[in-house]
Amino acid sequence: MSTRLITGIGELVTNDPSVGDESALGLLADAAVLVEDGRVAWVGRAAHAPEADGVTDVEGAAMIPGFVDSHSHIVFAGDRAAEFEARMAGQPYAAGGIRSTVAATRRATTEALTERASALAAEARAQGTTTLEIKSGYGLTVDDERRQLEIARTITDEVTFLGAHVVPPEFADGPDAYVDLVVGEMLDACAPLARWIDVFCETGAFTPEQSRRVLTAGAERGLGVRVHAGQLGPGEGTRLAVEFDAASVDHCTYLADDDIAALAGSSTVATLLPGVEFSTRHPYPDARRLLDAGVTVALASDCNPGSSFTSSMPFCVAVAVRDMRMTPAEALWAATAGGAAALRRADVGRLTVGACANLVELSAPSYLHLAYRPGVPLVRRVWKDGTPPFVR
């Protein structure tokens, strides 16, 4: 198997505190990374690098682990730009907007859905995302949910069944009958295609009791648990997530002191989605309160046509720094190692020996530029499992 040395790295973020400056980011100056068989085989000072079959010199650029975007809904059809325009003019965001995407997605061909999702995944990759979670939730029938998951599986292994996204219009008079379908025939069809189960536990979506039924049924089928909660108001979703040892509870815009205490004593990650608050004008989640309480925080895009139509993790990092008062180091960690924790993955989100060789070369001398130069396409090359498919 051939080896390649990536060298001339002016600043390397490893997310390994045992190397470099011993911070959480494990920063190393004048560094090199040896890649073998898609994995990191060695990390250290360039001056001490081993021989390799091939060499790539990045000439002083900063390199970071590929972003781990642990929350997206990119299998959909339609467009909700008019809804965004109305929000910017003062209209509130409501969970019901999801139903317009459900209608468009049901009407779309599988080819069109696949093409759109693949284009969005490529767009994310070009901005440094090397691990991407994708949810269903715009089908809401057995066949349409199965179809969304089948499409997601062509793009990623991190596939989430979100049949309990909202109650579809045909069940408006009997939401519990819809939950019966989700935990019955729909789960039978979807569990074999997914790694995770998710539920939107929120007023206007599913009650805590309904959410509990969904998560219990999913966990019994061997699916890992994730929860959407605290997006539109306070509720029981966060504590439910901790009770189920969810890998992650996502949004966390509204949290009570009890929720923070529960998260701090758990292995459930709080995943913050700054694109949502940016695009809905809701208040940003209080990242400092979570971090200061010792909660593990991740950042993700929540890429979807309603509440957050961005695939850009650099954008999320910049907003988290500017508007959520995360330090640049906390934000980058949350968008890489934090996302990996939210997916319970030890092989991504860090550059340690044995990890996937997922690296991003920045057109910048430091990762600080991700927040310092917002909106600028700083991602120059992306290595996924050791190969650079994307070059700007």
| 276 counts as binding ligand NIG under rule CB under 6 A | yes
In sequence order, the β-bridge partners of residue 68 are 131
Residues 223-242 that bind ligand NIG (CB under 6 A): 228, 231
* Chain residue whose CB lies nearest ligand NIG: 306
Quick one: what does residue 200 bind among Fe ion, ligand NIG, none, with the CB cut-off 5 to 8 Å set by partner type? Answer: ligand NIG
| 144 counts as binding Fe ion under rule CB under 5 A | no
Binds ligand NIG (CB under 6 A): choice among 304, 311, 312, 358: 304
Residue 236 CB: number of other CB atoms within 10 A?
Answer: 19
| 145 counts as binding Fe ion under rule CB under 5 A | no
Quick one: what does residue 98 bind among Fe ion, ligand NIG, none, with the CB cut-off 5 to 8 Å set by partner type? Answer: ligand NIG
Q: Give CA–CA dist 74/118, Å, rounded.
A: 9
Residues 288-327 that bind Fe ion (CB under 5 A): 302
* Residue pair 173/212 in contact by the 8 Å Cβ criterion: no
Residue type present at position 367: Y
Of 34 and 164, nearer to ligand NIG (C-beta) is 164
Q: Give CA–CA dist 196/344, Å, rounded.
A: 11
Query: Which element (helix H / strand E) includes 39?
Result: strand 39-45
Q: Give CA–CA dist 69/312, Å, rounded.
A: 9
| 311 counts as binding ligand NIG under rule CB under 6 A | no
End-to-end Cα separation, the chain, in angstroms: 27
Classified as helix, coil or strand, 235 is coil
CB of 162 to ligand NIG, least distance (A): 8
Of 302 and 361, nearer to ligand NIG (C-beta) is 302
| 202 counts as binding Fe ion under rule CB under 5 A | no
Pairing of strands 196-201, 224-229: parallel
Which residues are at the interface with ligand NIG (CB under 6 A)?
73, 97-98, 101, 200, 228, 231, 276, 302, 304-307
Which residues are at the interface with Fe ion (CB under 5 A)?
302
